[in-house]
Amino acid sequence: MAYWLIKLVFFSICIATAFTGIARASDPDILFDYILPENATSVDGNFFTYTNLRELFEEDPKSMAASMAEFPALNGQSVSVSVLRLPPGAVSAPHARPRATGLFFVLEGRVEVGFVDTTNKLYTQSLETGDMFIFPKGLVHYQYNPDSNNPATAVAAFGSASAATVSVPTSLFGTDVDDVVLAKSFKTDVATIRKLKAGLGGKAAGDRKLH
């Protein structure tokens, strides 16, 4: 318990420092102290309190988020947090956060990370417990736990109350993007595309001619 507490305190200091720089550049400023939920005329301290992250102190914490969707008081405040729990050998598939920069802090274990910039250059790093890494806003990135025996836990701070996530595999192969379009884009055949879609639970789109 004490070990986790020390890590969380350190992270709190890091996140406070990060927000002073990145939070101002994303969500638009609001003209009020805070934004009330629809149809609400007043709130108490409970509105500004989020307790779900208590699970971090459990023996086997899980991935979780504290964004505007889970914590409505964040609306207009330009901040949110995500906790990533990677079991041994697990990967957080390539994805992008279109609305916010991400400041990634490893609480436990090892995490290999990488992102691709707009020139298609890949930047990678192997992070240890206590290391931090920045994921620039909107760029495709990933996280991977290379340890086959031990889990890894990290926290990401965002300069947006709703950073959003665009998953590359799901967006391409878990939706109804035409099979022929994908086959031509990846220089493969429709059968391969349909296997990928089936693995993600996507639907095979009909073979249509490209114009």
> Which DSSP string corresponds to the chain?
-HHHHHHHHHHHHHHHHHHHHHGGGSSPPPSSS--PPTT-----GGGG---GGGGGGSSS---EEESTTT-GGGTTT--EEEEEEE-TT-EEEEEE-TT--EEEEEEES-EEEEEE-TT--EEEEEE-TT-EEEE-TT--EEEE---SSS-EEEEEEESSS----EEHHHHHHSS---HHHHHHHTTS-HHHHHHHHHHHTPPPPP-----
The verdict on whether residue 95 carries a ligand-binding annotation is: yes
Q: How confident is the model at residue 10 (pLDDT cuts 50, 70, 90)?
A: low
Q: Tens of pLDDT along 91-107?
A: 999 999 999 999 999 99
% of the chain surpassing 90 pLDDT: 67
Mean pLDDT of 82-93: 95
pLDDT of residue 209: 42
**How confident is the model at residue 211, as a pLDDT?**
38
Q: What is the pLDDT of residue 48?
A: 94
Is residue 75 over pLDDT 70? yes
Q: What is the mean pLDDT of the chain?
A: 86
Rounded to 5°, the CA angle 107-161-20 comes to 70
Residues 6+ apart with CB under 8 A from 94: 140, 141, 142, 167, 168, 169
Quickly tell me which residue has 């208590």 as its tokens.
54
**For residue 17, is pLDDT > 70?**
no
Q: Which residues contact 117 (CB under 8 A, 6 or more apart)?
A: 123, 136, 139
Which comes out higher in pLDDT, residue 101 or 61? 101
Q: How far apart are CA 119 and CA 17, in angstroms?
A: 30
Q: What percent of the chain has pLDDT over 70?
A: 83
Q: What pLDDT was estimated at residue 80?
A: 94
pLDDT higher than threshold 60 for residue 9: no
Tell me the two tokens of residue 41: 């005329």
Q: Is 161 within 8 Å of 68 (Cβ atoms)?
A: yes
Give Cα separations from 181 to 123, 124, 143, 147, 175 (angstroms): 29, 30, 28, 37, 13
